[in-house]
Structure 1
Amino acid sequence: MDTALQSRAEHRAQPRHFEWQYLDLLRQIWTTGHERADRTGVGTRSLFGATMRFDLSDNAIPLLTTKRVYWKAAAREMLWFLTGDTNIRALVAQGVHIWTDWPLDSYRKATGEAIDRDAFEARIIADAEFAARWGDLGPVYGKQWVNWPVYEPAGEGLFRKRPQGINQIAELVESLRNNPGSRRHIFEGWNVAELDQMALPPCHKTYQFFVADGKLTGLLYQRSCDLALGVPFNIFSAALIIRMLAQQCDLQPGELIWNGGDVHLYLNHRDLVETQLAREPNGAPKLEIANRPASIFEYAIDDFLVRDYAPQPHISAPVAV
């Protein structure tokens, strides 16, 4: 066989790189998405309903290679969620800025002070009272995951809140261990009664898990999907918690299935989108978990090691608040 023909045949025979499904979706939305007004006022191109699947066997992890994803920030955020904390102080002390824009925006609007992000975060770290007043996000993600509020009768038609609510994560681990065939392996962040108290209602809102043949597969339904900035973090984080749960429950990782509702690109992300679509994915990142702590709530950032990750350069873009 001609050498060039053989090379092309071998290329076609290789499994398609996991990242192409993300790039195909990026291109589809940018070229054919519905242009719509949105809450931020920036404007988006959107489609409704999308699915991606990622094989997590052999330590595979869906880290995009066509731009750098700061996976340690995503991992630190996931560990923060599992503590139930809702104040950005612990995050910014670790150099994680994912959540700062929302309380910073609230502070600027309330005080009229034109403070920049670095100065705001410095005050959050240095001043516990300032952090308590301006750094709290309301009952977001982790609060719902590990302390979903429960109310009980207090007599005379009154109700009182239990000091400790439902720990959905702890109950999930027990369910996976003791009743793997259940169809109720779910944790949820969409607490309708508390949405108006949250800085941002949960985007990655519903997680469901499935055990078969000794493997754990997870499905994430994400209602609002910032494909350029948020989703690369979200798919890594979802894969990470599948890996953590699998280890805690003596299972092998199966797949991550990502389902997006409103999947969108902001109109001011043109440079990011066009730059990324000009690149081709390469490499096969691996995630190793170096330690198995006594519970899922005791992992530390040093327990996670990513290997074989050589992404193309970071592409910056503004966050729509």
Structure 2
Amino acid sequence: MSYADKVFVAMCQDILENGTSTEGELVRPHWEDGTSAYTIKKFGVVNRYDLSKEFPAITLRKTYIKSATDELLWIWQKKSNNIHDLKSHVWDEWADEDGSIGKAYGYQLGVKHQYKEGMMDQVDRVIYDLKHTPFSRRILTNIYVHQDLHEMNLYPCAYSMTFNVTQKKGDDRLTLNGILNQRSQDVLAANNWNVCQYAVLMHMLAQVCDMRVGELVHVIADAHIYDRHVPIVKELIERPQYDAPKFWLNPDIKDFYQFTTDDIKITDYVTGEQIKDIPIAV
């Protein structure tokens, strides 16, 4: 059975059984009808996925991995903050009349900074360090830039990646590991979407840096289930679980900026019925 399913089910059970409620508190999110969107939440959830063993897609319902990858490349490769560069419509709610989400996400990764080696943006800096100083403990990105928060239409949720390279005994190739830090997550709508996105990113970076892929650690400060999602989650986690799908990445791509969604393939992906029209709090 998929390891990602086991992690997801255990996390949801823990939130439902041991979490705390925000009901009655002053909360920012609301539903389309204007009602406050309350949550059951857990603080400091940490999930680990060994990407060398299997791809971490849940099978309880389908995760649209190509769409998730398109969004990832929109942020990390195109470094865009305009929804017109994105195929899906998940960001439409936060875009202005020109399609911009402000100085958020891809915008921050595209800002060039001065280093002793020259001017680089955060993505290029990560790739440079992985290739030149792989055992550095300073390889990370951060898009939660306080001076620009007032110009972001949505504060970043998944805001930081920290990369760490290890050398397994007897292996002539290095192993790439990463920690995804997330301040807040809507578990039903976004958990596996984010996990699959950053698993793909790890595979891509490992390949272009001639490394093996290792662990992805997902740290969520506020992991929550919205009040209107509770019955959906309860039904979801009781579903049958299947084997994890197989993941393929085009081995001919050696430049991160050459990857497209056509360079990934997901096969043998058996899932439960898709859940449609999940209400999204804004």
**TM-score after normalising by structure 1:** 0.77
Contact 1:56 1:254 in 2 (8 A): yes
* CA distance in structure 2 between the aligned counterparts of 1:237 and 1:171, rounded to whole angstroms: 20
Look up the match of 1:18. 4
Offset of residue 281 of structure 1: 2.0
Write out aligned runs for 1:1-321 (5 A): 17-36=3-22, 37=25, 38-40=27-29, 41-57=36-52, 60-81=54-75, 82-91=77-86, 94=87, 96-103=88-95, 133-147=97-111, 166-213=120-167, 214-316=174-276, 317-321=278-282
C-alpha distance in structure 1 between counterparts of 2:72 and 2:243, whole Å: 25
CA contact (8 A) 2:207 2:251 kept: no
Query: 2:231 & 2:85 partners in 1: Cα distance?
Result: 32
Q: In the alignment, is the contact (CA less than 8 A) between 2:66 and 2:261 conserved in 1? A: yes
SS of 1:264's equivalent in the other structure is strand
Corresponding position of 1:11? none
Does the residue aligned with 1:306 lie in a helix, a strand or coil?
strand
Task: Output one character per residue of 1:54-110: Cα deviation in whole Å (capped at 9) or x when no partner.
Answer: 11115x21111101111111010011112111111121xx3x12111223xx6xxxx
Give the equivalent residue in structure 1 for 2:170. none
Q: Identity percentage over the alignment?
A: 30
1:286, CA displacement in angstroms? 2.0
d(CA) in 1 for partners of 2:139, 2:113: 19
Counterparts of 1:308 and 1:54, CA distance in 2: 19
Q: Which amino acid aligns with 1:51?
A: V
Deviation for aligned residue 1:166 = 4.2
Deviation at 1:215, TM superposition (A): 0.7
Using structure 2 for the length normalisation, give the TM-score: 0.88
One-letter amino acid of the structure 1 residue matched with residue 175 of structure 2? K
Residue by residue, what CA displacement relative to the aligned partner does 1:10-30 show, whole Å, maximum 9, x if unpaired?
Answer: xxxxx9833212111111112
Moved over 6 A (4+): none
String of CA shifts for 1:138-194, please: whole Å, max 9, x gaps: 0111111122578xxxxxxxxxxxxxx741111111101111110011011111111
SS in 1 for 2:14: helix
- Residues 27-48 of structure 1 deviation map (CA, whole Å, 9 limit, x = unaligned): 1112321111431121111111
Judged with a 3 Å threshold, the aligned counterparts in structure 2 of structure 1 residues 140 and 196 are, in CA distance, closer, same or farther, namely same
Q: Matched residue of 2:57: which SS?
A: coil
Unaligned 5+ residue runs, structure 2?
A: 30-35, 168-173
Structure 2 CA distance for partners of 1:270 and 1:258, relative to 1, 3 Å:
same
| Counterpart-to-counterpart distance in 1, 2:249 and 2:2 | 26
Tell me how far apart the structure 2 counterparts of residues 135 and 46 of structure 1 sit (CA, whole Å).
32
Cα RMSD between the aligned structures?
1.9
Contact 1:247 1:292 in 2 (8 A): no
Q: Which structure is larger by alpha-carbon Rg, 1 or 2?
A: 1
